[in-house]
Structure 1
Amino acid sequence: MTRTTPHDHPLADPRPLYRQVADQLLGELHDGSVPPGERLPGERRMAEHFGVSRETVRQALDVLRRDGMLSTDRRGSHVALPGSPAGSPAPLAFPVGTLADEPRTGARATVAWEAPPAEHAVALGLAPGRPTLVHRYRSPSAGTGGRRSAVTSFSAVALAEVEELARYRDRADDSAAAQLRRTYDWMRRAGLALHHRDTITRPTDTASVRVVRRVHDQYARPLEITDLLVDTRQDALVYEFTLPPAG
């Protein structure tokens, strides 16, 4: 963000100062200064950026929140504008193979801090029984009766390198909803190149397809493994692959 000072010409603009800040911040968000879904800087930093008090920033954020431009949870305020900033690659949704038009009725995603499946532990280089962040996704397919379910385990490297993932540890009780759809974008912003390897098999005597996705970074360090089961009676599988690190 380039520093701005909305109070330099107080007589030229009849709008309240907090509204000026809200409008300027919204303009910067439309320009892609903070990508959709990402967290805004703290109030103190934004107060310095706009040259106003933290209370004025707080009022400006309230305006954008009421207008549906921001969403707020325990981790802070996040940009709720649709789409991606111009010139940025389309984000690869997590977990692999989930339906693009989420949220949908019946879909649920949670995280737990627990020992992963044995196959996942081996792939991630984790000692048997060592806990990590495990993400579970379950969704019915619209109008077909088919279902998709995915279990993802993250490596110690992913949790150490990606701040947004690490924050989930303290509330990973496998009950609260946890939408991690921007996980791959978070990884890229942490400077990680993402290399995906998918293994697709069809379990015997079923109408399902199993997809095992392994993701590692540019140093061949494992980041995550996802085990996806898809009822394929009518659904199609759509894939996108390697993305470079951000910046």
Structure 2
Amino acid sequence: MARTTPHDPPPSDGRPLYGRIAALLLDELRDGTIPPGERLPGERHLAAYFGVSRETVRQALDVLRRNGVVTTDRRGSHATLPGRPVEVPQSLTFPVGARSADPCALDRATVTWEAPPPEHAMALGLAAHRPTLVHRYRSVAPDGRSLRTAVTSFSAVALAEVAELARYRDRADGATPAQLRRAYDWMRKAGLTLHHRDAITQVGDASSVRVTRRVHDQYARPLEITDLVVNAEQDALVYEFTSPAAG
């Protein structure tokens, strides 16, 4: 949704509350706030946004479905009413910063279904030894020198909310190539606002740095944690930024 603060409850005009909520949602569909084909936020988010109950939101969505302006499938409700095109924020390529500047570098990425490193499990709120989707990335120079490596563990929330990620479980054999470059796009299209926090430190006396990236959503739920090691010498720094959800 475009606003970051809750919507004021609509004034009474003789219509039932769910009808007024349906009208407000229809306005946002018409003006392109929710682009055609995009997934609407979940019932819990909409209830907080409009200051009403989830049952009221459910009834409002039923009205819109009967009028043919939204459709619902197992992944949620999607806008079908044509609206104004909206600018799509520039996408972040996953893993951020993993690709080397060397045009001759060779990339390889795979996924496994395994227990993540203990520090990853703790950051993601996973029980010890509980398996999850783990992505491994390596960039090497033509002479075989390692330029960059990255290990990413995804949370149970990410796998439950993002169908494209969940489908990789069946291919997580550690051998099949798995470039998840659109992972952040998939998260945004699932209605998640992505908050990134990167801590960058030098690795010992070596000319390399470690980037520990943590990503959570608008509900402070962890989505993924990445450890990226880059063959470069830099001062330590920490920076944060947020990518808005698509819907």
**Do the two structures share a fold, i.e. TM-score over 0.5?**
yes
Moved more, 176-185 or 85-94: 85-94
Aligned position for 2:154: 154
Give distance in 2, aligned partners of 1:123 and 1:209. Answer: 21
**CA shift at 1:101, angstroms?**
7.6
Secondary structure of 2:180 counterpart:
coil
Give distance in 2, aligned partners of 1:146 and 1:181. Answer: 20
Letter in 2 for 1:158: A
**CA shift at 1:241, angstroms?**
3.5
- 8 Å CA contact 1:152, 1:225 repeated in 2: yes
- 8 Å CA contact 2:197, 2:240 repeated in 1: no
Aligned position for 2:139: 139
Structure 1, unpaired ranges of 5+? 1-31, 36-84
Structure 2, unpaired ranges of 5+? 1-34, 39-84
Aligned position for 2:223: 223
Moved more, 93-102 or 119-128: 93-102
Distance change (3 Å), C-alpha of 1:142 and 1:171 = same
Aligned position for 1:182: 182
**CA shift at 1:231, angstroms?**
0.1
Aligned position for 2:202: 202
Percent identity over the alignment?
Answer: 67
Alignment of 1:112-127 (within 5 A): 112-127=112-127
Q: Aligned pairs, how many?
A: 164
- 8 Å CA contact 2:211, 2:228 repeated in 1: yes
Distance change (3 Å), C-alpha of 1:173 and 1:146 = closer
Give distance in 1, aligned partners of 2:216 and 2:198. Answer: 12
**CA shift at 1:203, angstroms?**
1.3
Secondary structure of 1:241 counterpart:
strand
* More strand by percentage: 2
Give distance in 2, aligned partners of 1:142 and 1:200. Answer: 27
Give distance in 1, aligned partners of 2:175 and 2:156. Answer: 22
Over the aligned positions, Cα root-mean-square deviation in angstroms equals 3.2
Letter in 2 for 1:229: V
Letter in 2 for 1:212: T
